Amino acid sequence: MASIDYWFTMGSTYNYLTVMRIDAVAQAAGVTVRWRPFRNVGALTGATQLPFLEGTAKMRYMWQDIARRAGARGLPIRLPVTYPCASAVRANAVMLIGVREGWGPAFARAAYPLWFGQGIPNGGEDNLRAALAACGQGAAADRILAMAESPDLLAALDDETAAARAAGVFGAPTFAVDGELCWGDDHLEDALHWARHGTLAP
């Protein structure tokens, strides 16, 4: 079965759009998705290439663009959205556990609407516990949150971050298939097409 690597960080804004649809869209296309969280974009690019700087036209555009796309898809969004998330790394550590244990995608689909719709940022204690409960891991929350701070888990997250960098990833979300990268939620369909046919859609 064709597959793609889905590289992302839970601190990414545009990743909201992807988290909420990738499994459904990929399943309909007959493509398997490997969810691969990394530490953050700065760990890939260095601090000089952060995508959105406060006060810039690009930052204003990003919120305008995400708001209209979320609206068109029926996803909750309440502006202004807190950004950046202070604890995105912790959210990615939890996400890495979730990917291993199978509840990661459901966790992400619970966490993001809390952030964008209710002002409870990804990675914060309130968000983590509520999203874990929502994906059926409420009883395991203490175990999971402790594991997310363990040296082994953080080393594994660093390894994944290094793998993302080696693959040429510089932003989130990025879809990788056969050495081709497709960057941005709008290019998910390109990646799925590439996974099945080895080309872009005509």
Judged by beta carbon, residue 58 or residue 151, the one nearer a second copy is 58
Task: Scan for tokens 């550590």, then name that residue.
Answer: 93
Q: Is residue 102 part of the contact set for a second copy (CB under 8 A)?
A: no
Beta bridge partners of 34: 5
Report strand pairing: 180-183 vs 32-37.
Answer: unpaired
CA–CA dist 161, 76 (Å, integer): 29
d(CA 13, CA 177): 23
By CB under 8 A, name the one of 3, 32, 64, 150 that touches a second copy.
64
Among 2, 23, 43, 45, the residue binding a second copy under the rule CB under 8 A is 45
Measured in residues, the chain has a length of 202
Q: Should residue 63 be labelled a site residue for a second copy when binding is judged by CB under 8 A? A: no
Please give the backbone phi and psi of residue 51, each rounded to the nearest 5 degrees, phi first.
-70, -35
Q: How far is the CB of 185 from a second copy (least distance, A)?
A: 11
Q: Which member of 143, 186, 197, 198 binds a second copy (CB under 8 A)?
A: 186
- What is the binding site for a second copy (CB under 8 A)? 44-45, 49, 53, 56-58, 60-61, 64-65, 68-69, 72, 165, 168-171, 180-181, 183, 186-187, 199-202
